[in-house]
Amino acid sequence: NAGVTQTPKFQVLKTGQSMTLQCAQDMNHNSMYWYRQDPGMGLRLIYYSASEGTTDKGEVPNGYNVSRLNKREFSLRLESAAPSQTSVYFCASSVLQTANTGELFFGEGSRLTVL
């Protein structure tokens, strides 16, 4: 069982370039999330999708867009990358965002460097 799969694992971009991070889960989860992890800042929520067809902003959405392509897939797009977006990005999923357990299942992360 693959769980949550993210691609690519590593990417280097130049300022102003665009790219999409892909995420897929095979656990039939309803809710999916994108977090970024920066030193000293912990994990910060960028966007989430409580269920197929819905997306909501998290704590740090500026400079990003998301698409919930279907129940399995949730992509994160950087339209015009900036050095401040250098980070490790994690995709996660959960059974239901409204279920009172809150347990998330994480991918292995995508390390992005913007020069």
Partner 1 sequence: GDSVTQMEGPVTLSEEAFLTINCTYTATGYPSLFWYVQYPGEGLQLLLKATKADDKGSNKGFEATYRKETTSFHLEKGSVQVSDSAVYFCALYSGNTPLVFGKGTRLSVIA
What residue ranges bind partner 1 (CB under 8 A)?
4, 31, 33, 35, 40-43, 45, 48, 58, 90, 92, 97-98, 100-104, 106-109
CB of 103 to partner 1, least distance (A): 5
Q: Mark residue 63 as left, alpha or beta (left: phi above 0; alpha: psi -120 to 50; beta: remaining).
A: left
Helix then strand then coil, in percent of the chain rounded to 5, is 5, 50, 45
Closer by beta carbon to partner 1, 69 or else 99: 99
Closer by beta carbon to partner 1, 17 or else 44: 44
Q: Which two tokens stand for residue 88?
A: 């490790």
CB of 55 to partner 1, least distance (A): 12
Closer by beta carbon to partner 1, 18 or else 54: 54
